[in-house]
Amino acid sequence: MSNKPTPSRATLAAQALGWSDEKTRGLVPPIYTSTTYLRDPDGGYRSGRIYTRADNPSFDLPEAMITTLEGGAGSLVYSSGMAAATAVFMNLQPGDHVIAPNIMYWGLRNWLKTSAIEWGLDVDFVDGEDSEAFAKCLRKDQTKIVWIETPANPTWAISDIAAIAEIAHSAGARLAVDSTVATPVLTRPIEHGADIVMHSATKYLNGHSDVLAGTLTTAQSDDFWERLVNRRASAGATLGPFEAWLLVRGMRTLYLRVERACRTAQRLAEHFSGHAKISRVYYPGLPGHPGHDIAARQMTGGFGGMLSVSVEGGMKAAVAVAAKTKLWHRATSLGGVESLIEHRASIEGPDSPVPPDLLRLSVGIEDPDDLIADLEQAL
């Protein structure tokens, strides 16, 4: 019986699962740029590689890493988070029913309201914080996917993964979780009953604002998953080999970055709660947040590096604050090493459910005192 300790997930991420090149003993994986592979004399492919649209050796390590970190049975990397998310829904049949939350990433919400309908799907939106709302909307044997995002962008609403998983499974549906903000550092949805975990790997997994990528991880290898594997190969929403290499590099520092961002976000949330010029702070780490108790149960090690604030004076005042920041960068995205600020209602358009006075803050790894001082001078 071996007494060898099992490395923590943080160690496995930092060491890229202990990868090294057997031939050269290199610790950094190479980038495989070949788009095609030689056939054997009999026409076969004993190497298992045929064409890079279906597979590339550069995918192996990032897929293995995210599978290990999420505790899943397999993963796929995609060319973007949207490519990964929409692949789940395009794996369904016309007439299938799906349920999604009202508050979620606006790009996917818009896709579900337009392209998914054109695809033939029947889509309902409910309050993602209300588990019973999902139960009331379920259609036995017709609802195929229940989709949640937790914490949900940009109010950081919390959905109860375990409760909604049980509800979805009671009707024969799968639960898919967008866990981009939580990352496997804070939440592993499969442990709470989720069937599929999606990440916009552009964000925290890569963490350096220089890669566009997405991932899906499955709890089990079944027919649904095999269709996703085959569809990626045929539809071509694959990641480039250089981006796959950069994704591995980013994931090696995932735990350090997320832990730092969580500490700073908690400090900012506490500092600006009750501030004279801030009417509300949206952060699940605050006891007053509606989803705090659930978040404390299903998130470990912190409550995420994202928070939002509503500025006294409405939309005009919020936009003015964002314009006056010096260290916070006015830019779309999240999860990078640099801190970003954005007025979400302006970005999402007139149909956005986001309060017009809300500013979304993506906390990076800078000195928290500097970030607080910059917001104070802007306010």
Residue 176: enclosing H or E segment and its boundaries? strand 174-178
CA-nearest of 257, 259, 339 to 302 is 259
Helices (H), the chain: 9-14, 57-70, 81-90, 106-113, 115-119, 131-137, 161-170, 183-186, 223-235, 241-251, 254-272, 292-298, 314-324, 344-348, 368-378
Helices (H), 131-173: 131-137, 161-170
Catalytic residues: 53, 105, 178, 203
Alpha-carbon gap, residue 278 to 286, rounded angstroms: 15
Phi/psi region, residue 333 (left: phi>0; alpha: psi -120 to 50; beta: rest), is left
Can you state the angle between helices 241-251 and 57-70, rounded to 10 degrees? 30
Residue 144: enclosing H or E segment and its boundaries? strand 143-149
- Give the chain's radius of gyration (CA, Å): 21
Q: DSSP letter string over 269-319?
A: HHHHTT-TTEEEEE-TTSTTSTTHHHHHHH--S-S-SEEEEEETTHHHHHH
CA 306 to chain centre: 12
CA 328 to chain centre: 22
Residue 261 near residue 267, CB atoms below 8 Å: no
Which residues have a Cβ under 8 Å from the Cβ of 288 and sit 6 or more positions away?
273
Alpha-carbon gap, residue 214 to 235, rounded angstroms: 15
Q: Tokens representing 33?
A: 């740029």
